[in-house]
Amino acid sequence: MKIGFVGLGIMGKPMSKNLLKAGYELVVCDVVKKAVDEVVAAGARSAANPKEVAKQVDIVITMLPNSPHVKQVVLGENGIIEGAKAGCIVIDMSSIAPLVSREVAGKLAEKGIAMLDAPVSGGEPKAIDGTLSVMVGGKKDIFDKCYPIMKSMAGSVVLTGDIGAGNVTKLANQIIVALNIAAMSEALVLASKAGVEPDLVYKAIRGGLAGSVVLDAKAPLVMDRKFNPGFRINLHIKDLGNVLETAHEIGVPLPLSAAVMEMMQALKVDGMGDSDHCSLVRYYEKLAKIEVKR
């Protein structure tokens, strides 16, 4: 089975390499030539644009920054819709607004092209080692057909409902991750300011109810002052923007999400937009005039 992959950024590049390792024939495309060359060196073939990718494959995977990019790549000039044959499947693994997923899927369906929205969680480390969590929306028969492909890049692949449900699930995921990082930041700044070693606090609480995957992933980075991404503040701002937009459209107040969004916006203004989202601790450190470190 031939697979196309459009979008070879911080997540897409390692994901595409894992498809190659799994033995899939891959045709790739990206605006950054260096990224394309690297994946081609690993065994893929390149195409000039998404249309040319779609002409050559049975399934096209997209991994793009946000809703407008997905609409352009799938539906725009030289887009996937212009090259794909009836019966082709598009797996959009970008994190975008659920209503846009439904809009794009509707346009593709008119041409006999199926779609799954399948955003991922886990950041660059899990993209590299192939243990991402994938949350999928779409028809079950299409999901079943594509499951082995997605599983070659992931530790967990779960169908959560019809088209758009994958991105609703991702929005829920991003709320929980953002609020966990904020809570961890508050706690470790409090401990540090009170004169208690944050590393000992972390070790004491990680095995109890306060323990979480987020705590284990981010607390050591904070204490070692390692703020390189990971998952950028700017990308989490994008996701929380989609969270709040969707929530407003369906009438769901999200006061905690809105508060963390403003904290991240403040960090962006301070020039930290390209730092890892665990940099949220620096918002609290600035207020308390203390650093959380070992």
- CATH number of the domain within which 258 lies: 1.10.1040.10
In a domain, 293, yes or no: no
Contact call for residues 61 and 93 (beta carbons, < 8 A) = yes
User: Do 130 and 176 fall into the same domain?
Assistant: no
User: Do 140 and 281 fall into the same domain?
Assistant: no
User: d(Cα 37, Cα 42) in Å, to the nearest integer?
Assistant: 9
- Mean pLDDT to the nearest integer, 12-18: 98
CATH of the domain at 113: 3.40.50.720
User: Do 210 and 247 fall into the same domain?
Assistant: yes
Residue where one domain finishes, among candidates 163, 179, 195: 163
In a domain, 43, yes or no: yes
Tell me: the pLDDT tens digits for 26-72?
999 999 999 999 999 999 999 999 999 999 999 999 999 999 999 99
User: Do 89 and 235 fall into the same domain?
Assistant: no
Domain containing residue 192: 168-288
Geometric angle at alpha carbon 186, from 199 and 228, rounded to 5°:
70
Residue where one domain finishes, among candidates 120, 148, 163: 163
Q: How many domains does the structure of the chain reveal?
A: 2
Tell me: the pLDDT tens digits for 80-99?
999 999 999 999 999 999 99
User: Do 9 and 23 fall into the same domain?
Assistant: yes
3-state secondary structure the chain: CEEEEECCCCCHHHHHHHHHHCCCEEEEECCCHHHHHHHHHCCCEECCCHHHHHHCCCEEEECCCCHHHHHHHHHCCCCHHHHCCCCCEEEECCCCCHHHHHHHHHHHHCCCCEEEECCEECHHHHHHHCCEEEEEECCHHHHHHHHHHHHCCEEEEEEEECCCHHHHHHHHHHHHHHHHHHHHHHHHHHHHHCCCCHHHHHHHHCCCCCCCHHHHHHHHHHHCCCCCCCCEHHHHHHHHHHHHHHHHHHCCCCHHHHHHHHHHHHHHHCCCCCCEHHHHHHHHHHHHCCCCCC
Q: List residues with catalytic annotation.
A: 170
Residue where one domain finishes, among candidates 108, 132, 163: 163
User: Do 212 and 138 fall into the same domain?
Assistant: no
Q: How much is the pLDDT for 19? A: 98
- Mean pLDDT to the nearest integer, 199-212: 97
pTM given for the model? 0.90
Among residues of the chain, what percentage have pLDDT more than 90? 97
Q: How much is the pLDDT for 1? A: 85
User: Do 110 and 231 fall into the same domain?
Assistant: no
In a domain, 238, yes or no: yes
User: Do 157 and 187 fall into the same domain?
Assistant: no
User: d(Cα 15, Cα 150) in Å, to the nearest integer?
Assistant: 9
- Mean pLDDT to the nearest integer, 153-168: 98
User: d(Cα 232, Cα 10) in Å, to the nearest integer?
Assistant: 10
In a domain, 294, yes or no: no
User: Do 39 and 173 fall into the same domain?
Assistant: no
* Closest by Cα among 171, 185, 170, 176 to 278: 185
User: Do 158 and 15 fall into the same domain?
Assistant: yes
